[in-house]
Structures are given as structure tokens and as C-alpha cells.
A and B are shown apart, each in its own frame.
Chain A
């Protein structure tokens, strides 16, 4: 089965600072990769998904961007964080199945 790694686990950043969250996948190749955000007490919001290297689809216009420089690496970035970017960020992967495998998440607090 797939194992999803995310780091950092926790991050506190000032408004206006840059952001880089990383996700890597073990146990499969050529997965579909996803970034979700979960605001406090709310459901999952799909931010980006990727079906291959350099292929990114954006679901929500926002202050964030995503990149996939390698097959099993997915990065979420921002040039200038906003207060509204605070939340729990989850990376997920699928490969040859409709089941999503999730990483442990990164809790981002923007102050």
C-alpha cells in the first residue's frame, strides 16, 4: 500500500511570509496527487490535483500554488501568506484505485 509523508507537521508563520509544504509518496509510482485544506471544524476543500509531473489542476482561485517536480513529490507554496490560509493541509494519493491515501497533515497557523 501507499505511504504518504508530509512535512513539516506544524508551522507558525507571520502574515506576508512565504510557504512551502512538501508531500512525498512511497509504495507506488505515477500516482494522482491531491492537496486539501481543512479549516477548523469544517470539511475538506480540494485545492489542487495532479495526474503527472508538471501537470497541476487548480480547483479554487487563491493565494496558493502547487508544483510536482518529481513523480512522487508534490509541493504547496505561497509567496505571501494571508490569515485566511490558516488550516490543516492534507496531501493524498491514488493509484489504480478510487481509494485515497492521506498523509498525516500539516497544521499551519498564520499570525
Chain B
């Protein structure tokens, strides 16, 4: 079945540091890929998405590129802020009218001033 693997956390960075959170997936067909963010005590919200190979999703300075050859969708940001502290989830939707999304286990990011 489908699966999503993301790097273990927590990740602690200083403000303005470069961020990479790795995500790899296993799926048949042509899934859509997502990054969701969860701020403390809140629900998840969509950060960015990509629907086909080589697409780049971007939002709020975050970027991720859909790499079919390496089955990866790594999240990057050039300069993190304290307000980026949250849990980040990589996710996959298989498409084709299927109903369910597969989520990774989440990576907690803490940015210190």
C-alpha cells in the first residue's frame, strides 16, 4: 500500500537558518503530494501541494519539488523564523477518485531566536 516516510524530529534551528525536511513516498500511479503544517494546539492546514512530477509547490517562503525519479518531496525554506515553529506533515493522495490521504508521522520544528 501507499506510504509516506519523513525525517524524525524534532529539528531545532536558529532563526534565519536553512531548513530541509525530507519526505519520501511509495505509491502506485500518479499521486498528489502535500505538506501540511500544524501550529501548537491547532488543526492542520495546507502549506503547499504538487500534483505531478517536477511541479514545485510554494507558499510563505517554503518550497517542495515533486521528484518522481527519487520518489521524494522535500520541504525547504531559505531562512526560517520563530513563527515557523510547528509540526510539518508530508502527505500523499493517490488520485483516481480514491478517498483517503496517507500522512507521514510529522516532523516537529523548533526555531530559536
Binding site for B on A (CB under 8 A): 4, 6, 32, 34, 42-44, 46, 49, 51, 90, 92, 94, 98-105, 107
- Beyond A34-B100, A105-B41, 8 additional contacts (C-beta under 8 Å) are A4-B43, A43-B105, A44-B106, A49-B99, A90-B43, A98-B32, A98-B51, A99-B49
Q: Name the distance in Å between A33's Cβ and chain B's nearest Cβ.
A: 10
A104 touching B89 in the complex, CB below 8 Å, given contacts A43-B105, A43-B106, A49-B100: no
At the interface, yes or no: B103 with Cβ under 8 Å from chain A? yes
A99 to B93 Cα, complex, angstroms? 9
Closest A-B pairs by Cβ, 3 of them: A102-B43, A43-B105, A98-B93
Task: Mark B99-113 against chain A: 1 for CB-CB distance below 8 A, else 0.
Answer: 111011110000000
A65 to B67 Cα, complex, angstroms? 39
Q: Name the distance in Å between A74's Cβ and chain B's nearest Cβ.
A: 14
At the interface, yes or no: B42 with Cβ under 8 Å from chain A? yes
CB of B99 within 8 A of CB of A104, answer no
Residues of chain A lying within 8 A (CB to CB) of residue B17? none
Q: Name the distance in Å between B39's Cβ and chain A's nearest Cβ.
A: 11
Selected contact of B99 from candidates A32, A90, A99, A101, CB within 8 Å: A32
A29 to B78 Cα, complex, angstroms? 39
Total count of chain B residues near the partner, CB < 8 A = 22
Selected contact of B89 from candidates A6, A44, A99, CB within 8 Å: A44
Residues of chain B lying within 8 A (CB to CB) of residue A44? 44, 89, 103, 106
Considering only residues 61-113 of chain B, those with a C-beta below 8 Å from chain A are 89, 91, 93, 95, 99-101, 103-106
Residues of chain B lying within 8 A (CB to CB) of residue A34? 100
A43 to B91 Cα, complex, angstroms? 11
A98 touching B95 in the complex, CB below 8 Å, given contacts A43-B89, A44-B89, A103-B43: yes
A107 to B40 Cα, complex, angstroms? 12
Residues of chain B lying within 8 A (CB to CB) of residue A51? 99
A6 to B43 Cα, complex, angstroms? 10
Selected contact of A102 from candidates B45, B51, B93, B106, CB within 8 Å: B45
